[in-house]
Amino acid sequence: MPPEKLAYALARYSRSPDSIQQSIDWVKSHDSSKFLESFYFQYGHASIADLGHVALSWEGVSEIAAIEIEDEQLWDGQARSSRYQDFSRSGFVTPPGLDAVQTETYQAAGRRLLETYREIHGRMVEALSAKLPRPESMKPDAYQRNIAARAFDVARYVLFLGIPTGVGQVTSIRTLEKQIRRMRSSEYGEVRAVAEEAAQACAETPHCPWRTDVQEEALAPTLAKYVDPDPYPGQARADLAQWAAENLPIASGETPHAVVLTKTADPLADIAATLLYAVTDRPFQELHETVSEWGRARQAEVLEVALRARARRDELLREFRGGPYAFDMLIDIGAYRDMHRHRRCHQTRQAFTWQHGFAVPQGLVEAGLESIYRTALREAQAAAEQLPAGTAHYLLPFAAKGRFLFKMDFAEAEYIAKLRSGVKGHFSYRDVAWRMKVEMDRVDPELGRLIAATPPWVEDPLVR
């Protein structure tokens, strides 16, 4: 059944004594759009739209767009992996809004990064083959695949956010509505454009080669009519940024470790610190300590600023959600792309920036490639400085560090640390996962000892 009709049938089933078969038969002869318009969009019975699901793929979008697409907690999907595929011939997405000179600057920098990516991968294959000879028990083709994949793990650091990728997702139409509305308010023109395409796709008949014996219907035509841009989150964060600029004390300027755990106990202080974290470039622990010293009225003022632009049907910002363990991560974008897929936690990302520097893989240094690597990154940053602010983000390499806050309960911390520290993982997020374990040992040692994480110095590089 089309998702909207399925949602209608299950909603009716929950509200009548009829069997599910009777409800399905009844829906066949009635208009689901009138029901959804009345109960979902007008009266706000949002759970109804959780009952219908849509499979939708976004092809040829940039990594920036992929991050925006995937930035939903109730989301299921997959993106193309930068660990197993060769991106050297993929080209890149040129963001809209550039003039001729800016376009040439951007494209020249993009070509240079891809040339460096290709060179680093080739030379890393040679270096790894010399360092890790094939075991007699391993077949040659399996060995070559493993070596190539490990070389991609290093080469991907010069991939950048303008690289095209594909994202396939299965979501409820409720999540899809929120996703499209959020994306239509994005600072990035490309993201706004693909959100428009998604809305149009909901109003059209789907691609369905499996069923040639039936007349296909549009997937979610009612939803497509009610996905106006959502202005609230952007306005709230603008208000918070102004408040922070006017009221926060001078930053300490200290650079904390890559992963710092703060155990929060006071919900009001926690929410206020998280709201300010999202609109500044400061570490969470510094903000949390600052906010915790304030009186309750001043803490509450931060929340009031965040709620000032909220309309009746607007949900609270994600910064209002959380868990007792707040992991502030100053990590490279590549590691964030891998960590971002964890949905049982609440994530807040600061603005992308060049100011935190770049990660330098040890394997690249050992292979004698550090010089060409750093040169490529410096050239990309110089080119980005000639571009408009949002567009400059498209040249950010996966090596660039950013600040990301992951808030969770202990069960999720244990799960991530154990899973992501395994020897099959990428060395960057393995290090993040191990640091999560170390921080838990520091903050809550009785719980930390329960986390069976694998130290990054335990390696088996020919295992995938």
Residue 132 phi, psi dihedral angles, 5° rounding: -125, 80
**Which pair of tokens denotes residue 285?**
């622990």
Q: Tell me the whole-structure pTM to 2 decimals.
A: 0.92
Beta carbons within 10 angstroms of residue 372's beta carbon? 16
pLDDT for the residue numbered 89 = 85
- DSSP three-state, residue 400: strand
Choice between 2 and 140, residue whose per-residue pLDDT is larger: 140
Triad 253, 254, 255: Cα angle to 5°? 120
Express each pLDDT in 346-383 by its tens digit: 999 999 999 999 999 999 999 999 999 999 999 999 99
> Which residue type does 66 have?
A
pLDDT for the residue numbered 215 = 64
The answer on pLDDT for 253 being more than 80 is no
d(CA 416, CA 430): 10
The answer on pLDDT for 34 being more than 80 is no
Q: Which of 439, 388, 432, 464 is nearest to 456 (CA)?
A: 432
d(CA 374, CA 371): 5
- Average pLDDT of the chain is 92
pLDDT for the residue numbered 402 = 96
Express each pLDDT in 102-139 by its tens digit: 999 999 999 999 999 999 999 999 999 999 999 999 99
| pLDDT above 90 coverage of the chain, percent | 73
Query: Residue 41: pLDDT band by 50, 70, 90 thresholds?
Result: low
> Which residue type does 313 have?
R
> CA-CA-CA-CA torsion for 343, 345, 348, 354, nearest 10 degrees?
-70
Max mean pLDDT range (53-57, 309-313, 328-332): 328-332
Going along the chain from its start, the domains and CATH numbers come out as: 3-80+164-224 (3.30.1360), 231-254+267-313 (no CATH)
CA distances from 168 to 73, 89, 193, 399 (A): 15, 21, 17, 25
- DSSP three-state, residue 381: helix
Express each pLDDT in 448-459 by its tens digit: 999 999 999 998
CA distances from 235 to 67, 186, 240, 352 (A): 21, 12, 9, 19
Q: Are 302 and 248 contacting, i.e. CB atoms less than 8 angstroms apart?
A: no
Express each pLDDT in 291-310 by its tens digit: 999 999 999 999 999 999 99
d(CA 271, CA 402): 21
Express each pLDDT in 61-107 by its tens digit: 999 999 999 999 889 999 988 888 888 888 999 999 999 999 999 99
Query: Residue 327: pLDDT band by 50, 70, 90 thresholds?
Result: very high
d(CA 177, CA 454): 40
Express each pLDDT in 428-440 by its tens digit: 999 999 999 999 9
The answer on pLDDT for 44 being more than 60 is no
